[in-house]
């Protein structure tokens, strides 16, 4: 497929975080871009402000005529789209080139030096740090990311044609479409069991992805059952964070590499999981040849990713953090980070489970991880692409949480609960539309400061 012959790109599911990065890329290189999504969000509003035509009804009459020529139009579809989607079936039955997001990323990046960052947790932050390091170091790079990087207010960094950074998504085995030169794997925990069936199938797919590069070009977190360069915030790895301390809200640490020690690196994201993410990005950048000083400067200036331990309010008497965590391992990481920063403060967390299948598959892990907060509030499950499952709901999860201070509330009730709470640290957690509440919660809590 020759992208030079494509004049128009139409996205089904344009509001998805990965899809929107592709949409921004195609608009930047001069293509006409439009699309459909089922939900209007802050992200779709931003794309519309950037000049993209977006509608929110599955209706072929709303598609502009310029996108109805199969000779010069590419259609990009999210794996989550239902099989009976009217627009999708229109394009399929009329001879259009219809590709999944990962297939298109594979085409774009095939002729570049491609960094691919995979893992059930940590890939968004790691790929964002890596993209930031390379861009700030003058590398001719484009980074396609699964989150909005605060430094750029975008999920697309740069416009380079030589090097690409890609967040390699394991959902639907999408990352197997990529052609990486350097890869890393942050984690291989069970997830997406509705797609894979069991943890063994997930591990096998990650192994297949890992084998796309030689072991010398693969970077992995210490402890994963893979052969490659290892990183760890402990001992016994190829890249190790040492002498870790906190100064003025920043981690400051040294990194021991296979050949040297880099001293006094500053990094502002809390939590040991984020130190690991930074180590992976550092190791990959060094392998590519980026100088130590440039890596250190970029790590110190990295501001984080929207909805990844994102401080909304950071005052002495009140703190509000928002996080995208939607798996028990991620919630444990959020808790570790917030407890490390605020060991003596009362912490209340509001969690919106994401997907009925994920809630069912990891119900005990969710209960354990959520029980650690001083108070926990649940919202109902955000279904995303799924239909309800009998007996799978937030009340079931609430019953398993071992914490006397727990409640199941509506969104309106949550606002009142936060308003009247005497907690000093508030955390909202989840990958669903709880993210759309952040602005209003921030306004509410600011009135208490």
Q: Are residues 251 and 122 in the same domain?
A: yes
Q: Are residues 87 and 178 in the same domain?
A: no
Q: Are residues 352 and 410 in the same domain?
A: yes
Q: Are residues 157 and 292 in the same domain?
A: yes
Q: Are residues 236 and 287 in the same domain?
A: yes
Question: Is 109 marked within a binding site?
Answer: no
Q: Are residues 369 and 416 in the same domain?
A: yes
Helix %, strand %, coil % of the chain (to 5):
40, 25, 35
Asked whether residue 432 is assigned to any structural domain, the reply reads yes
Asked whether residue 48 is assigned to any structural domain, the reply reads yes
CATH of the domain at 125: 3.40.1190.10
- Could you report the per-residue pLDDT of 5-31, keeping only the tens digit for each? 999 999 999 998 889 999 999 999 999
Q: Are residues 272 and 390 in the same domain?
A: no
Q: How many domains does the chain have?
A: 3
- Single out the residue in 248, 273, 301 at which a domain terminates: 301
- Single out the residue in 99, 133, 153 at which a domain terminates: 99
Taking residues 67-74, report their average pLDDT.
96
Asked whether residue 401 is assigned to any structural domain, the reply reads yes
Q: Are residues 292 and 325 in the same domain?
A: no
Taking residues 140-165, report their average pLDDT.
94
Taking residues 63-82, report their average pLDDT.
94
Structure tokens at 281: 């990005």
pTM above 0.85, yes or no: no
- Could you report the per-residue pLDDT of 386-409, keeping only the tens digit for each? 889 999 999 999 999 999 999 999
Centre a 10 Å sphere on the Cβ of residue 39 and count the other Cβ atoms it contains: 10
70: CB partners within 8 A, 6+ apart: 94, 95, 96, 97
Task: Please report which confidence band the pLDDT of residue 170 belongs to, taking 50, 70 and 90 as the band edges.
Answer: confident
Asked whether residue 105 is assigned to any structural domain, the reply reads no
d(CA 268, CA 56) in angstroms, rounded, equals 38
Q: Which position has the token pair 């605060």?
A: 150
CATH of the domain at 52: 3.40.50.720
Note the pLDDT of residue 250. 84
Q: Are residues 285 and 257 in the same domain?
A: yes
Question: Is 41 marked within a binding site?
Answer: no
Asked whether residue 104 is assigned to any structural domain, the reply reads no
Note the pLDDT of residue 197. 62
Helix 292-301 vs helix 123-136: angle between axes, to the nearest 10 degrees? Answer: 120
Tell me the helices (H) and strands (E) count for the chain, helix number first: 15, 21
Asked whether residue 372 is assigned to any structural domain, the reply reads yes
Q: Which position has the token pair 């489970």?
A: 353
Note the pLDDT of residue 81. 86
Taking residues 30-42, report their average pLDDT.
94
Note the pLDDT of residue 191. 59
Task: Please report which confidence band the pLDDT of residue 190 belongs to, taking 50, 70 and 90 as the band edges.
Answer: low
Asked whether residue 288 is assigned to any structural domain, the reply reads yes
Q: Are residues 285 and 379 in the same domain?
A: no
Question: Is 158 marked within a binding site?
Answer: no
Asked whether residue 94 is assigned to any structural domain, the reply reads yes
Question: Which is it for the CA torsion 189, 195, 198, 200, positive or negative?
Answer: negative
Q: Are residues 283 and 314 in the same domain?
A: no
Question: Is 399 marked within a binding site?
Answer: no
d(CA 230, CA 184) in angstroms, rounded, equals 10
With vertex at residue 120, the alpha carbon angle to CA 114 and CA 126, rounded to the nearest 5 degrees, is: 50
- Single out the residue in 43, 78, 99 at which a domain terminates: 99
Question: Is 120 marked within a binding site?
Answer: yes
CATH of the domain at 356: 3.90.190.20
Q: Are residues 73 and 129 in the same domain?
A: no
Question: Is 406 marked within a binding site?
Answer: no
- Could you report the per-residue pLDDT of 259-275, keeping only the tens digit for each? 999 999 999 998 888 99
Task: Please report which confidence band the pLDDT of residue 207 belongs to, taking 50, 70 and 90 as the band edges.
Answer: very high
Note the pLDDT of residue 202. 81
Residue from 299, 286, 234 nearest 260 by CA: 286
Residue 183 sits in which domain range?
A: 110-301
Question: Is 197 marked within a binding site?
Answer: no
pLDDT of 309 over the 90 cut: no
204: CB partners within 8 A, 6+ apart: none
């Amino acid at each position: 497929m020759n992208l030079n012959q494509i004049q128009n790109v139409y996205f089904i599911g344009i509001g998805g975080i990965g899809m929107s990065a592709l949409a921004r890329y195609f608009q930047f290189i001069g293509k006409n871009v439009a699309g459909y999504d089922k939900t209007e969000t802050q992200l779709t509003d931003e794309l519309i402000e950037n000049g993209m035509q977006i509608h929110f009804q599955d209706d072929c009459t709303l598609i502009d005529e310029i996108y109805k020529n199969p000779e010069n139009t590419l259609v990009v579809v999210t794996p989550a789209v239902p099989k009976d989607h009217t627009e999708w079936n229109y394009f399929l039955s009329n001879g259009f080139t219809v590709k999944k997001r990962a297939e298109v990323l594979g085409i774009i990046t095939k002729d570049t030096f491609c960094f691919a960052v995979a893992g059930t947790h940590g890939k968004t932050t790691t790929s964002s740090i890596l993209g930031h390091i390379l861009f700030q170091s003058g590398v001719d790079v484009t980074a396609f990311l699964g989150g909005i990087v605060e430094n750029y207010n975008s999920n697309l960094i740069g416009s380079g044609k030589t090097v690409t950074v890609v967040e390699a998504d394991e959902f639907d085995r999408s990352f197997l479409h990529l052609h990486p030169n350097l890869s890393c794997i942050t984690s291989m925990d069970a997830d997406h069991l509705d797609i894979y069936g069991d943890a063994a199938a997930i591990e096998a797919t990650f192994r297949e992805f890992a084998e796309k590069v030689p072991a010398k070009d693969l970077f992995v977190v210490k402890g994963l059952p893979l052969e490659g360069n290892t990183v760890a915030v402990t001992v016994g790895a190829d890249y190790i964070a040492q002498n870790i301390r906190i100064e003025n809200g920043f981690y400051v640490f040294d990194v021991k590499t296979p050949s040297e020690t880099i001293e006094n690196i500053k990094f502002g994201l809390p939590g040991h999981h984020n130190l690991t993410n930074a180590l992976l990005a550092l190791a990959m950048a060094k392998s590519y040849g980026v100088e130590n000083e440039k890596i250190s400067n970029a790590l110190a200036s990295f501001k984080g990713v929207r909805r990844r331990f994102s401080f909304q309010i950071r005052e002495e008497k009140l703190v509000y953090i928002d996080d995208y965590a939607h798996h028990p391992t991620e919630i444990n990481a959020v808790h570790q980070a917030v407890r490390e920063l605020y060991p003596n403060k009362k912490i209340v967390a509001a969690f919106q489970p994401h997907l009925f299948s994920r809630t069912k598959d990891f119900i005990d892990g969710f209960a354990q991880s959520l029980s650690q907060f001083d108070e926990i509030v649940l919202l109902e499950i955000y279904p995303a692409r799924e239909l309800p499952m009998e007996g799978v709901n937030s009340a079931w999860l609430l019953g398993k949480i071992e914490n006397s201070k727990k409640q199941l509330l509506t969104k309106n009730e949550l606002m009142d609960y936060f308003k009247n709470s005497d907690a000093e640290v508030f955390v909202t957690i989840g990958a669903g539309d709880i993210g759309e509440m952040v602005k209003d919660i921030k306004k509410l809590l600011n009135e208490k400061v």
